[in-house]
């Protein structure tokens, strides 16, 4: 995995946190499944059991937020978390 960076900012009534890396990226056919429980892109070379991103999604949604991902193979990935700001 390459460089990892993050940014946190206010977007309207939400706090938005974007975590970006310059790693291998995720293929389009896999990106739509990465938040599914037990989903692993390559079980031969991947460590873990495929529940980490699903747990993140459940926690974020329990706080009325959202998480999404964008990726380009060979360029890296970004994970975007949006949580409502309590007033």
| Rounded Cα gap, residues 31 and 67, in angstroms | 12
Report the predicted TM-score, pTM, of the whole model to 2 decimal places: 0.86
Residue 87, pLDDT > 80, answer no
Instruction: Name the residue range of residue 43's domain.
Output: 4-84
Do 78 and 71 contact (CB within 8 A), yes or no?
yes
What CATH number should be reported for the domain holding residue 73? 3.30.565.10
What integer pLDDT is reported at residue 24 of this predicted model?
87
| Rounded Cα gap, residues 78 and 26, in angstroms | 10
Q: How many domains does the chain have?
A: 1
Retrieve residue 53's tokens. Answer: 């991103």
State pLDDT tens for residues 30-53: 999 999 999 988 756 667 888 999
Retrieve residue 37's tokens. Answer: 């429980």
């Amino acid at each position: 995995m390459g460089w990892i960076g993050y940014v946190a900012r206010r977007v309207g009534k939400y706090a938005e946190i974007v975590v970006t890396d310059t790693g291998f990226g995720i293929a389009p056919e896999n990106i739509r499944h990465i938040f599914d429980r037990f989903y692993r892109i390559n079980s031969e070379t991947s460590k873990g059991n495929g529940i980490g991103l699903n747990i993140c999604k459940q926690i974020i949604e329990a706080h009325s937020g959202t998480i999404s991902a964008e990726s380009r193979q060979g360029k890296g990935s970004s994970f975007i978390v949006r949580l409502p700001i309590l007033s």
